[in-house]
Chain A
Amino acid sequence: MGYGRYLAIRLLNALLVLALVTLLVSILFTKVAEEDLKSSIQEQINMKLRANPELMKQLSADPERFQEWYQNEYNRLIGAYELDKPFWVRVLERTKDTLTLNFGNTKTPIFGETNVKKIIAAAIPRTVLLFTTAQIIVILIGLLLGVKAAQVAGSALDRAVSIIAMLTSSIPMWWFGMIAILVFSFKLGWFPSGGMTSTPPKEGFAYYTDILYHMVLPVGTIVFVLFGGWAWTTRNIMIGTMQEDFIMAARAKGVPERKVIYGHALRAAAPPIITMTIFSLLGSLGGAIITEGVFNWPGMGRLYWTALQQNETRLLMGVTFVTVALYLISMILADLAYGYLDPRVKVGASQRT
């Protein structure tokens, strides 16, 4: 199986996952739409009664006739809204809405908007801003610390990295965010407890420094929880590479140690490290989403939180669908990157026995 075929399978896989999620979302969509429509039908019948006192008088005299009239009216509206069609037909019809990201409106405005598509469009860049900044810092610290630890394997630094990795990987990131707010915002009052800007937002250049100021705590939280694991993974990959023959050859040639590490070893270790980057990015997305909610950062995480708190099912469907789609795209990118970086990739060929 060549790389092209592997990629094709991965693509197909992603499409399958997307289809499954679409189906799930559509089922939920149909259920919600049904509930909404039914309550609206009740409302319409009541309106009609109230608007027509003559009819009301006639009907209230005879409960049986009222029942009959009510049932007729109800059935007529159910038919008009196509609620009499079988469930699966409606699900399929909703699939189109899901795929075109047409999730409808929320009950109350969020970010001053009720259209789910627009709300999500406003949230994505903010999440990307927060998450990318944090991740870049994590990768830098992790890489440097990991390489250093691998260099002095077994030393105090190396052991410290392992211990930090174990400790921080046991901490729920969102909880650590709560602690950060408790300490740095409530107790010490150094940083704001949440949000992206002050209210009302500042003008001009101050607007950007204000955003940076608000980013300190969430970014600090994400970095603190993730950098240890990162350094540890880098260390393990590097130690593996450092035992390869070509490193010994380079050393034997008299290449300076610095160059051996950063020129030879790190270069060879790059492909696994980069795929690790992308996958750990994806893996930590979940935790980061909840953390965002804790810090009231107006991104995707906050949308999840709001959607769950206020029972905005339409918003939840939209956010989930978009998250999954982004996740799958990044996964394919990771595969592409790996194939590009490591020409040795011949997935499958070695597996065939």
Chain B
Amino acid sequence: MRWVDLKESLKDFWFEFKRQKGGLLGLFLLALLVFTALAAPYITEPDIPEKWTAYWEGNPTNVPPVWYNYFTAKKLAPHRILTYRDVKITSEGEDLGGGIRYYAFEFDYNNRYDLPPKDLIIKNIGVKLADLNSPAQIVITVFRPDGQKIELLSADLVEGSIYQIAKMGAVRNNVFNWALQFEDPKNVEGRVETIKSTMDVMEVIFAKAEPGILINPQPLHGDYKFQVEIFTFNEGDRIDLKQIQIILTGRTYGFMGTDYKGRDLWAGLVWGTRVSLVVGVSVAVLSVLIGIAYGVTSAYLGGWKDEFMQRVNEFVASIPTLPILILLGAAFKGHVTLWTIVFLLVMFGWTGIAKVARSMALQIKEQTYVEAAKALGAGTGRIIFKHIMPQIMPYAFAVMALSVPGAVLTEASLSFLGLGDPTAVTWGQILYDAQTNSATINGYWWWVIPPGLAISLVALTFVLIGVALDRVLNPRLRRL
């Protein structure tokens, strides 16, 4: 085929394809998916696959996305991370005499939410102690919009200290004692210890100072100022606040919320596109190519060879794929890679196409031009690849597109059963985690709905393209 001919036939093809609305929609979706897959490192972060299997420290677990606030009456605080740039340094090593130095910084938090952050974590305070036996001292205080002031914590500061306000017993004590002065004594009578151990520390810190603050805290909106003071007692002690990190653990997180490991589901969703597309497309292309080569060869050889190849085909076709895949997956559990899955799916996926290709090739084989080629002394390979295959290729493209959804769904099913590549970020695996952590009965919709929609979207994209291709390339179907 010459270049001009190819260009011409492509032009014809595009003219026909343009009229298939579903096909165009499919192409648009495909472009979107490919873009997402390619741009994944830029849309999210480039190191997602490496850190995917670990717990994401500091992130809230099982929280809905930020935009969930638009649909709820109770506004939930989003996740926020403050760094050196967000804090106001008020004292940098002021000498208080006697070798004592004073450092202090402040940060503001505007609480517009009905449920405040889950926790307040302060970490990475760069402290170098000259003498490990005399640690520095840290005092954390909050100034509330109503003028009240709570001293949350006064504790030792050593290298590597992390302060999780909501989880520290000392803070709980301080906050409880502070709140008790406003609480109606009748509310806590006889239940002091229970209330103290079960109250949500953060909710009380951000609550209106009124009776009921302990048993049913009402949110107090406004600007809160947190002050952190550090005292060092040795001349050699060094404090460096450049790396400081203050995490206000959210009740909502990002575009898609988080799962039980605190992982950003949006990142998983974006990166999952890659696996889905790569597995789907490579399985489809490989199995169609193998199937067509097999079918055409079988038809061309004829006789007992054809018979034998057909028997082999039937044998493979009658193997129930999923149970066998599950069995193999369980046997290699933990060592399955994406390419193993591709290989297995191709192994079971070529048979149907081989059958159709064979019957098409049987017709083509009888054409006079094949006979002419034979008479001219063309070899088997040349006839198959030069004369028969090009006739079947248009059909092949449609079948390729139509066999992607099956591959995508099977891959997702295997991952959902926990048999996928454990190191890859896949949608099926996100849903597997959701299922094993009872996400459905806990109502974690943000964890269940998006990955499945994504799987369906990929499948639908290729169904649309496949059906449109089929209509254009196999005109006999057009009357239907």
Binding site for B on A (CB under 8 A): 9-10, 13-14, 16-17, 20-21, 24-25, 28, 31, 153, 166-167, 169-172, 174-176, 178-179, 181-182, 185-187, 193-194, 236, 239, 282, 285-287, 289-290, 294, 304-305, 307-309, 313, 316-317, 319-320, 323-324, 327-328, 331, 351, 353
Contact = CB atoms under 8 A, between A and B. Distances in A.
Interface string B390-416: 000000000000000100010011001
B443 A320 contact: no
A174 to B, nearest CB: 6
A13 B247 CA distance: 63
B330 interface: yes
Contacts of B467: 166
Nearest to B299: A353
A307 B327 CA distance: 11
A289 B320 CA distance: 13
Tell me the interface secondary structure of chain B in the complex.
helix
B1 interface: no
Given A170-B405, A174-B413, A316-B326, 11 more contacts: A13-B315, A17-B315, A17-B319, A172-B416, A175-B448, A185-B440, A194-B441, A307-B330, A308-B419, A316-B330, A353-B362
18 contacts: A9-B314, A10-B314, A21-B324, A24-B324, A166-B464, A170-B459, A178-B431, A193-B440, A290-B413, A308-B330, A309-B436, A313-B330, A316-B326, A316-B327, A320-B324, A323-B323, A324-B323, A324-B324
B322 A167 contact: no
A155 B324 CA distance: 42
Contacts of B445: 182
Interface in B451-478: 451-452, 455-457, 459-460, 463-464, 467
Contacts of A31: 331
A17 B366 CA distance: 35
A248 B302 CA distance: 39
Contacts of B318: 13-14, 17, 328, 331
Contacts of A313: 330
A206 B470 CA distance: 52
B399 to A, nearest CB: 15
Nearest to B405: A170
A169 B405 CA distance: 8
B418 interface: yes
B320 A282 contact: yes
Contacts of A13: 311, 314-315, 318
B37 to A, nearest CB: 18
Contacts of A236: 480
Nearest to A290: B413
B320 A324 contact: yes
The 5 closest A-B pairs by CB, nearest first: A286-B322, A175-B452, A170-B459, A170-B460, A181-B440
B434 interface: yes
Contact of B459 (A169, A174, A320): A169
Tell me the interface secondary structure of chain A in the complex.
helix
Contacts of B418: 308-309
Contact of A20 (B302, B311, B319, B322): B319
| Chain A CB within 10 Å, residue with most, of B302, B315, B318, B331 | B318
B168 interface: no
A196 to B, nearest CB: 16
Contacts of A185: 440-441
Interface string B435-448: 11001111101001
B330 A186 contact: no
Interface in B276-319: 302, 311, 314-315, 318-319
A178 B434 contact: yes
Given A308-B330, A309-B418, A313-B330, A172 B456 contact: yes
B329 to A, nearest CB: 8
Contact of B417 (A10, A304, A328): A304
B361 to A, nearest CB: 11
A313 B330 CA distance: 8
A179 B448 contact: yes
B460 A320 contact: no
Given A13-B314, A182-B440, A323-B320, A24 B416 contact: no
B433 to A, nearest CB: 12
Contacts of B436: 309
A175 B455 contact: yes
A130 to B, nearest CB: 17
A222 to B, nearest CB: 15
A28 B331 CA distance: 7
A172 B417 contact: no
B362 to A, nearest CB: 6
Contacts of A304: 326, 417
Nearest to A176: B452
Given A172-B452, A289-B322, A308 B311 contact: no
Contact of B441 (A172, A186, A309): A186
B170 interface: no
A25 B327 contact: yes
Contacts of A320: 323-324, 326-327
A153 B431 contact: no
A169 B463 contact: yes
B480 A239 contact: yes
A24 B327 contact: yes
B321 interface: yes
A178 B463 contact: no
B449 interface: yes
Nearest to A20: B319
B405 A308 contact: no
Contacts of B359: 351
A21 B455 CA distance: 30
Contact of B443 (A9, A186, A319): A186
A177 B230 CA distance: 55
Nearest to B321: A286
B324 A175 contact: no
Interface string B324-354: 1011101100000000000000000000000
